[in-house]
Amino acid sequence: MRIESRLAQIGSVKEPVTGAVSYPIYQATAFRHPKLGQSTGFDYARTKSPTRKVLEEAAAELESGDAGFACSSGMAALQTIFALFSQGDHLLVSLDLYGGTYRLIEQVMSRFGVTASYLDTNNIEALEANLRPGSTKAVLVETPTNPLMMITDLARVSEWAKSRGLLVIVDNTLLTPFFQRPLELGADIVIHSATKYLAGHNDVLAGLIVTKGKELSERMAFLHNSIGAVLGPQDSWLLMRGMKTLALRMERHQANASRIAEFLLEHPLVTDVYYPALPHHPGHEIQKRQSSGNTGIFSFKLKDVRLVEPVLRHVKLIAFAESLGGVESLMTYPAVQTHADIPEEIRRAVGVDDRLLRLSVGIEHCDDLIEDLGQALEQAARETEV
């Protein structure tokens, strides 16, 4: 069955007692045993919970994996994955990384003796040069990265990692399984901040892990249950509800983002637009090969730093807010918000400077969004005389 149909049918026709088409929310934390030595398959809700299980099975199936694990946030999912590693282990990590992931590695995992090198994960020579034989255990890739939209060739990096005995972990938040399925390209683990496109409505905080292979899946099940940062039944239900419309939303996000990126590219107050759908983007060809579409977020640089404040003040339809992937359009200023925890030298080296804005394009009418950006830029230019 095609992915659109599978998405729309998440949780449907699975409830045998009443035939409910929308899968029920099982709020129970304890499950009665029929008799000694028997179980309904559910014992205690941290280990396994019915509503969460339907979501987890759907996530595994959509990502072409063997097992899915729903967590209380994207960061909880990453922390659960990082618990695979031990003191002395080393990771190779995408340079232009989600700020929270960088903070978790540098300020939390480092205290447990797990360290990382940050580099362009599309550069095999750089990966090879940073490899610490015996210590390096995994490559953690974001593609596209956020905010600069750097692309990594997933099949190539996975092939290299396999030859070195490393796990490949891919943060697939920005493309979702609707557009990109890293496990089919050789990755071992996919992680999502399901708070973003999967839930899609700026109203649920959730994370997902999908693993490939029996041994890794069993190990992750053990960690998921042992750590306990699991997703509750209500949020599992809300997430499934959001995922049913993922295909429609992603198509609209992509169409809107492409048109707005082109509008900004032509705008005299904008110097750069970072969006892989644009033919001049350095990752354009790889992205086209390994994904069936483009995300709805991109970044752009204003001509002058003085324009930033008034643009953020004058956008009306677009909210000045963190996060991404929801039906409502949001704009953020990465240097002081999402990426504030990344040291300035690193931020500047990758290009996250103080003229960069990031736009998460929602599903509003594209012309309304273009008009909003146009008037905000115009007013900003007038006020600053740039």
Ligand X SMILES: *Cc1c(COP(=O)(O)O)cnc(C)c1O
Question: Collapsing DSSP states into helix, strand and coil, what is residue 192?
Answer: strand
- Annotated catalytic, 188? no
Catalytic hit among 171, 188, 235, 372: 171
| CA triple 212-213-218, angle to 5 deg | 100
Q: What is the DSSP letter of 230?
A: B
Stretch in the footprint of ligand X (CB under 6 A) among 49-57, 94-102, 227-235, 345-353: 94-102
Q: How far apart are CA 384 and CA 386, in angstroms?
A: 5
Residue at shortest CB range from ligand X = 74
- Is 194:207 a contact under the CB 8 Å cutoff? yes
Does 182 sit behind a cis peptide bond, omega within 30 degrees of 0 on the bond before it? no
- Annotated catalytic, 26? no
Number of residues that bind ligand X (CB under 6 A): 15
Kindly give, in sequence order, each residue whose CB lies less than 8 Å from that of residue 379, ignoring residues fewer than 6 positions away: 310, 314
Q: How far apart are CA 89 and CA 114, in angstroms?
A: 5
Q: Of 63 and 171, which CB lies nearer to ligand X in the complex structure?
A: 171
Least distance (Å) from ligand X to the CB of residue 125?
25
Residue 242 found at the interface with ligand X (CB under 6 A): no
Q: How far apart are CA 273 and CA 143, in angstroms?
A: 17
Q: Of 55 and 376, which CB lies nearer to ligand X in the complex structure?
A: 55
- Annotated catalytic, 171? yes
Backbone angles phi, psi at 108, to 5 degrees: -120, -60
Q: Of 100 and 213, which CB lies nearer to ligand X in the complex structure?
A: 100
Site for ligand X in 201-230 (CB under 6 A): 205, 207
Q: Of 82 and 98, which CB lies nearer to ligand X in the complex structure?
A: 98
Catalytic hit among 6, 14, 46, 259: 46
Q: Of 193 and 377, which CB lies nearer to ligand X in the complex structure?
A: 193
278-286's contacts with Cβ under 8 Å and 24+ in sequence apart are 281/149, 281/151, 282/150, 282/151, 283/122, 283/143, 283/144, 283/149, 283/150, 283/151, 283/152, 284/151, 286/122, 286/151, 286/152, 286/153
Stretch in the footprint of ligand X (CB under 6 A) among 10-18, 179-187, 192-200, 241-249: 192-200
- Is 167:137 a contact under the CB 8 Å cutoff? yes
Among 69, 82, 98, 160, binds ligand X (CB under 6 A): 98
Site for ligand X in 156-175 (CB under 6 A): 171, 173
Catalytic hit among 23, 48, 96, 98: 98
Q: What is the DSSP letter of 22?
A: S
- Annotated catalytic, 289? no
Least distance (Å) from ligand X to the CB of residue 297?
9
Q: Of 48 and 358, which CB lies nearer to ligand X in the complex structure?
A: 358
Site for ligand X in 71-90 (CB under 6 A): 73-75
Active-site residue numbers?
A: 46, 98, 171, 196
**Interface residues toward ligand X, by CB under 6 A:** 73-75, 98, 100-101, 142, 146, 171, 173, 193, 195-196, 205, 207
